[in-house]
Amino acid sequence: MIPFLPLNRINERFEPELSEAISRVVKSGWYLRGQETEKFESEFAAFCEAKNCVGVANGLDALTLIFAAYKILGKLSDGDRVIVPANTYIASIMAITKNNLTPVFVEPNEDTFNLDAISKDAKAILSVNLYGRQANLPKNDLLLIEDCAQSAGIKPKGDAAAFSFYPSKNLGALGDGGAVVSNNDELCEIIRALGNYGSKKKYINDYLGFNSRLDEIQAAVLRVKLKRLNEDNKKRNEIALRYIAEIKNPNIILPKPSSEHVWHLFVIRCKQRDALQKRLTESGVETMIHYPIPPHLQKPYKHLNCELPITEMLANEVLSLPLHQAMSEEEIERILINPCLA
Ligand SMILES: *Cc1c(COP(=O)(O)O)cnc(C)c1O
């Protein structure tokens, strides 16, 4: 079977540096809010061409803390409307509703899977770079928060961006991790405090905070892997372009390339998606569906009674093929000659 995403093979390529980095932290005796996190934050901010990076515990927290900090700054208030693409991963929506904000589900553009035009009345936009493709939004005066959980490697354009280092993401830790990236110093200072029980100064708590910190081991691991992120994303792009050039099955709609794309996932569309998935599995190609049930049809949001036919159609048609930086030439060729795709 060609595995969808063999994380052991991806991470083996970083040995022995990964083990050395972990061992360095173990020996240091300092496991949270230390040098590794500080260094990773400045390296990742520079990589993103942004002023600040704040490490947090995961991608959902990165998003949640951005909204919470904008509320503390008075830029958002309870009930404010936030535009969000309806076909996103449910974490994007949870970050909005957990802050008592109102999600305005918008249908994506079918060709890019992203938001494009914004016409609805709202205070903020949560743009999602779904599958690794950066959304190309017209600049307006709404707050622009960018969900970059799937697009590590792309320069964020929003007022604040949230990253996830969940192991399967383009820049994956060996556990959970996340970060907020922004040029807004005040916002980042509040987010840093919020993630540490609302405290800026030891034993003084200014806000009703959270515990959300990137730990030293994950930061040390991410520093090793960050050095090769551009190279790894380039490899993903090469494979994606080969798939696009060589997959010829007329029943398949291929994703569109873009210069701002890091191919977190290679997502095709097919009206007979379930049959195609079954045949691919039988012929030794593991695939996945991102995502089979959109957020508005999940229990926490069902009562909103949203009608989103494009999002529902996409959920029934999308299928993700294996695509990652550790794929062998043989695996790529076996996928390309598979009779379901060729
Ligand atoms: C993974 C993901 C998140 C959440 O990140 P975690 O680190 O798993 O909390 C949020 N939004 C999108 C689009 C994601 O893919």
Three-class secondary structure of residue 268 per DSSP: strand
Q: How confident is the model at residue 208 (pLDDT cuts 50, 70, 90)?
A: very high
Angstrom distance (rounded) from CA 261 to CA 152: 10
Residue 252: φ, ψ to 5°: -105, 135
pLDDT of residue 139: 78
How far, in Å, CA of 113 to CA of 318, rounded? 10
Instruction: Give, using CA atoms, the residue closest to atom 1 of ligand 1.
Output: 149
The structure tokens listed for 94 are 């949870």
Residue 145 and residue 181 in contact, taking contact as beta carbons nearer than 8 Å: no
Average pLDDT value for residue range 5-26: 98
| pLDDT of res. 266 | 98
Beta-bridge partners for 32: 215
pLDDT in tens, 70-128: 999 999 999 999 999 999 999 999 999 999 999 999 999 999 999 987 878 999 999 99
How close is the Cα of 290 to the center of ligand 1, in Å?
A: 12
pTM: 0.97
334, containing H or E segment: helix 329-336
Instruction: Report the alpha-carbon distance of residue 301 to residue 304 in Å, rounded.
Output: 6
Phi, psi of 106 (to 5 degrees): -120, 140
Ligand 1 contact via 149 beta carbon (within 6 Å): yes
pLDDT of residue 117: 77
Report the alpha-carbon distance of residue 220 to residue 35 in Å, rounded: 9
Ligand 1 near 10 CB (within 6 A): no
> What mean pLDDT is predicted for residues 295-324?
98
Q: How far apart are the first and last CA of the chain?
A: 18
What is the mean predicted confidence (pLDDT) over 196-213? 96
Q: Which of 66, 145, 150 to mutate to test the pocket of ligand 1 (most atoms within 8 A of CB)?
A: 150
